[in-house]
A and B are shown apart, each in its own frame.
Chain A
Amino acid sequence: AQKVTQAQTEISVVEKEDVTLDCVYETRDTTYYLFWYKQPPSGELVFLIRRNSFDEQNEISGRYSWNFQKSTSSFNFTITASQVVDSAVYFCALSGGNQGGKLIFGQGTELSVKP
């Protein structure tokens, strides 16, 4: 069975701190995709990034970076120099292996960035 675990329920940081959100996944499939979504207070989930199981290159997009490590089944998300606008709930998700297109989500991490 597929599973995504985000062990950090809530994180609180002060503006300009770096913060890492952890994501650990379980799957028996060799081909799969991992995603990160952001849910701001408005409620609508916003897609941030996708990674496939064959691409372990880390990715950086502005203040955001992602570290994918198949050896530890982790896909962690780091925000550098956090800002108040980064306050949101962040979800990690997994898709793959004849699951009919289902996205399996983790529990979410609520990030609070204080000024």
Chain B
Amino acid sequence: DVKVTQSSRYLVKRTGEKVFLECVQDMDHENMFWYRQDPGLGLRLIYFSYDVKMKEKGDIPEGYSVSREKKERFSLILESASTNQTSMYLCASRPPGDRTEAFFGQGTRLTVV
């Protein structure tokens, strides 16, 4: 059974903290994604990676960075967490090609206080 696993289901952090969200996939997929989900805004792409050490900005990269040192792991980093980054974060992986389906993790609900 294919799997994308996010390290935390719920997370509460303080303003200004550096936050790491981890995502691991076991399908050997080249592409990995981080989305943010907010009510009324759907899923918005933060960053994606199409290979180890490769990354591209999505639609809302400000305040975030990513790391992909190994193929199976894609980390999202909030350099200095702010309250407006309180949200649901979803990780996904996908084989190459536009016709392929993406597989999603269960999401991390991050609250910044």
Contacts and interface: CB of A to CB of B under 8 A. Distances in A.
Tell whether A and B belong to one assembly: yes
Contacts of B77: none
Contacts, number: 66
Majority secondary structure, B binding face? strand
Interface residues of B, number: 29
A99 B104 CA distance: 19
A50 interface: yes
Nearest to A106: B42
Residue in B33, B41, B43, B104 with the greatest tally of chain A CB atoms within 10 Å: B43
Interface in A1-56: 4, 6, 9, 31-33, 35, 37, 42-47, 50, 52
Interface of B: 31, 33, 35, 40-45, 48, 50, 56, 58, 88, 90, 92, 94, 96-107
Given A91-B43, A105-B35, A108-B42, 7 more contacts: A100-B48, A101-B50, A101-B94, A103-B33, A103-B102, A104-B45, A107-B41
